[in-house]
Amino acid sequence: MNHRDPPQAPAASASPPGAIPLWRLLQAAASCLMAVRGGRSGTAALEQVEPALRPAVQALSFQVWRSLARADNLRRLLAQRAPPPQADALLCVVLALAWDESQAPYPSFTLVDQAVEAAKRHAATRAQAGFINGCLRRFLRERDALVARSDQDPVARWNHPAWWIARVRQDHPQQWQQILQADRSHAPMTLRVNVRRCSQADCLAQLQAEGIAAVAVGASGIRLARPMPVPRIPGFDAGRVSVQDAAAQQAAPLLLHGLVPPPGRPLRILDACAAPGGKTAHLLESADCTVTALDVDPARCARIHQTLERLGLQADVRAADAAQPASWWQGEPFDAILLDAPCTASGIVRRHPDVPWLRRASDVDQLAQLQARLLAALWPLLAPGGRMLYCTCSVFRAEGDIQIQTFVERNTDAALLPSPGHLLPRSAGIDAAVPDNGDGDHDGFFYALLEKRAP
């Protein structure tokens, strides 16, 4: 996934000369929170924010989503009856930003003052301005006691729904606390070097020459010390690097290792759920092969084309449903298949902190059923002796090892090769209990490499 956290909003006065007033940012963040509470993704909500406000609103919104359960709990302690939705959202935005004074992007009294101003300037909240002011002033007076009371609620403490906490604890009894803690941290910005255009060492040297602190990770990755706007990354526009998490960068090497092209032609590979094209590109960067890249959404296929064009690569990109091969498959078996299946995204909460508030417990089983259908539909398309790499950006075992165990039991021609299995999200400095696979700081992923036995 090529997503990253934006720079945090500046911890300065509410409205320095020429700056956008903080009350406007709080209004926009409250609207984004309402959208997520209504079932809309945070990405889609932020796209509706006017461009001049978007970077700062995204920074505030990410911080809000990382403390949303805490804010909800504090709001209930301050007022048992919820105010109207817009006012509740504004109140929770400020509580999420201010509850931990050491992490607040602005001084607490500034946040309160600007929240009241935001309420007064919006028709839907004007009548609630006094209520919001009273709640927040009380919160500042009683902050320590209120936060201590909210600590008694596991949902507020871990900032995940109760069902999510229970499932992670069941699936990973030794590491569940580290997983939930990692979810609330900031994800690093990791680059993947296009080895057809640049070596890892040369790209790293270029970054360091321009004063950008970075370290090499894995075979072709580079992790930046601090995130930066993508267009400003040296070599990005020239197709020398892409943005891709260290865990996601393992897909292409895992699938390609040891695969030998048939005589007289390159490897024929299917990337079954390819958008936005990062793994398709990595395959093409790493081996002489032909890749068929599918995505069910034509708009997402356009993103694959854009990715490949920037990198100087080509693939057969098709808007098609991978679960319905009869509509797109021409009958030639593939030597390798990459199935990066739709999932809960429970492994990439650091990058998408709205995800826990969008998912429902029933989503896990529904997505596991879709993953099983994709595995069953694509397995017949693999040539004997070929390999399929199944992966999800999930920490839930139903979408990982349980899914693959069930598939292998039902398909006697499927052999499970040595694979990483569940890579748990690991954030620098806090995850001593989570095994380090050598890449140090990465998202949560699952990988299973399957080989098709000859009849």
**CATH number of the domain within which 346 lies:** 3.40.50.150
Looking at the structure, do residues 239 and 252 belong to the same domain, yes or no? no
Say what the pTM is: 0.91
Looking at the structure, do residues 275 and 200 belong to the same domain, yes or no? no
- For position 427, what pLDDT does the model report? 63
Domain count of the fold of the chain? 3
Looking at the structure, do residues 230 and 273 belong to the same domain, yes or no? no
Average pLDDT, the chain: 93
- For position 430, what pLDDT does the model report? 44
Which tokens in the block code for residue 21?
A: 């007033």
**What is the C-alpha separation between 244 and 403, in angstroms, rounded?**
25
pLDDT digits (tens, 9 = 90+) for 163-191: 999 999 999 999 999 999 999 999 999 99
- 157-161, 360-364, 451-455: lowest mean pLDDT where? 451-455
Rg (CA), the chain: 24
- 347 belongs to a structural domain: yes
**What is the C-alpha separation between 37 and 34, in angstroms, rounded?**
5
**CATH number of the domain within which 209 lies:** 3.30.70.1170
- 337 belongs to a structural domain: yes
Looking at the structure, do residues 236 and 255 belong to the same domain, yes or no? no
Looking at the structure, do residues 269 and 371 belong to the same domain, yes or no? yes
- For position 11, what pLDDT does the model report? 36
- For position 73, what pLDDT does the model report? 98
Task: Indicate the pLDDT class of residue 80, thresholds 50, 70 and 90.
Answer: confident
Question: Averaged over 332-344, what is the pLDDT?
Answer: 98
- 77 belongs to a structural domain: yes
- For position 433, what pLDDT does the model report? 43
From the list 25, 29, 7, the residue with the least C-alpha distance to 16 is 25
- 108 belongs to a structural domain: yes
Looking at the structure, do residues 428 and 289 belong to the same domain, yes or no? yes
Question: Averaged over 67-77, what is the pLDDT?
Answer: 98
- 196 belongs to a structural domain: yes
pLDDT digits (tens, 9 = 90+) for 278-319: 999 999 999 999 999 999 999 999 999 999 999 999 999 999
Looking at the structure, do residues 235 and 255 belong to the same domain, yes or no? no
Residues 6+ apart with CB under 8 A from 52: 20
Looking at the structure, do residues 255 and 389 belong to the same domain, yes or no? yes
- For position 454, what pLDDT does the model report? 83
Whole-Å CA distances, 32 to 6, 47, 55, 127: 16, 10, 13, 21
Looking at the structure, do residues 138 and 46 belong to the same domain, yes or no? yes
Kindly list the catalytic residues: 393
From the list 407, 408, 395, the residue with the least C-alpha distance to 446 is 395
Contact 52, 45 (CB under 8 A): no
User: Is 46's pLDDT higher than 70?
Assistant: yes
Looking at the structure, do residues 108 and 217 belong to the same domain, yes or no? no
- What is the longest distance spanned by two Cα atoms in the chain? 77
Domain final residue, candidates 120, 140, 159: 159
Looking at the structure, do residues 263 and 225 belong to the same domain, yes or no? no
**CATH number of the domain within which 139 lies:** 1.10.940.10
Domain final residue, candidates 119, 137, 159: 159
Give the torsion through C-alpha atoms of 129, 134, 135, 141, to 10 deg.
Answer: 140
- 442 belongs to a structural domain: yes
Question: Averaged over 39-50, what is the pLDDT?
Answer: 96
Question: Averaged over 347-371, what is the pLDDT?
Answer: 97
Range of the domain at 307: 248-452
Q: At residue 80, what are phi and psi to the nearest 5 degrees? A: -65, -35
Looking at the structure, do residues 413 and 313 belong to the same domain, yes or no? yes
- 181 belongs to a structural domain: no
The proportion of the chain whose per-residue pLDDT surpasses 90, expressed as a percent, equals 91
- 15-29, 79-93, 138-152, 430-444: lowest mean pLDDT where? 430-444
Question: Averaged over 387-410, what is the pLDDT?
Answer: 98
